[in-house]
Amino acid sequence: MQHKLLRLKKNEILRNMCAETNFLNDQLIQPIFITEDSVSKKIIPGIPDNYVLDVKSAIHQIKIDLKNNCRNFILFLVPSSKKNINFDLSFQTTTIKKIKSFFGDDIFLWADVCLCSITKHGHCCLFDKNKDIDLRNSLSSLSRIAVSYADAGLDGISPSDMMDGRTAIIRKSLDESNHEYIPIMSYSSKFASNFYGPFRFAADSKPTFGNRKQYQLDYRNKTDAIKASQRCCAEGADLLMVKPGMHSLDLIEPIKKKTDLMVGAYQVSGEYAGIALAAEKNLLNFNEALIESWHVMKRAGAQFIISYGARKFKELGLSGK
Pairing of strands 156-159, 28-35: unpaired
Residue 319: its pLDDT value, please? 66
Question: What Rg do the C-alpha atoms of the chain give, in angstroms?
Answer: 18
Q: Is 56 a catalytic residue?
A: no
Residue 2: its pLDDT value, please? 66
Amino acid at 70: C
Pairing of strands 263-266, 41-43: unpaired
Q: Say how far apart CA 320 and CA 92 lie, in whole Å.
A: 33
Phi/psi at 157 (5° precision): -105, 135
Residue 250: its pLDDT value, please? 98
Say how many C-beta atoms besides its own lie within 10 A of residue 290's C-beta.
21
DSSP state letter for 175: H
Catalytic residue among 42, 243, 281, 314: 243
Q: Could you please report the per-residue DSSP string of 238-276?
A: SEEEEESSTT-HHHHHHHHHHH-S-EEEE--HHHHHHHH
Dihedral sign of CA atoms 286, 14, 20, 114 in order = positive
Per-residue pLDDT of the chain (321 residues; tens, 9 = 90+): 666 788 999 899 999 999 887 788 999 999 999 999 877 789 999 999 999 999 999 999 999 999 999 999 999 999 998 989 889 999 999 999 999 999 999 999 999 999 999 999 999 999 998 989 999 999 999 999 999 999 999 999 999 999 999 999 999 999 999 999 999 999 999 999 999 999 999 998 889 898 999 999 999 999 999 999 999 999 999 999 999 999 999 999 999 999 999 999 999 999 999 999 999 999 999 999 999 999 999 999 999 999 999 999 999 988 666
Q: Say how far apart CA 34 and CA 56 lie, in whole Å.
A: 10
pLDDT digits (tens, 9 = 90+) for 90-138: 999 999 999 999 999 999 999 999 999 999 999 999 999 898 999 999 9
What residue spans define the domains of the chain? Answer: 5-312
Residue 303: its pLDDT value, please? 97
Residue 153: its pLDDT value, please? 98
**The model's pTM:** 0.94
* Ordered alpha helix ranges (H), the chain: 12-17, 55-67, 90-103, 135-151, 166-176, 197-202, 222-234, 249-259, 269-280, 286-299
- Please state which CATH class domain 5-312 belongs to: alpha beta
3-state secondary structure of 32: strand
Residue 321: its pLDDT value, please? 63
Catalytic residue among 10, 190, 206, 314: 190
Amino acid at 97: K
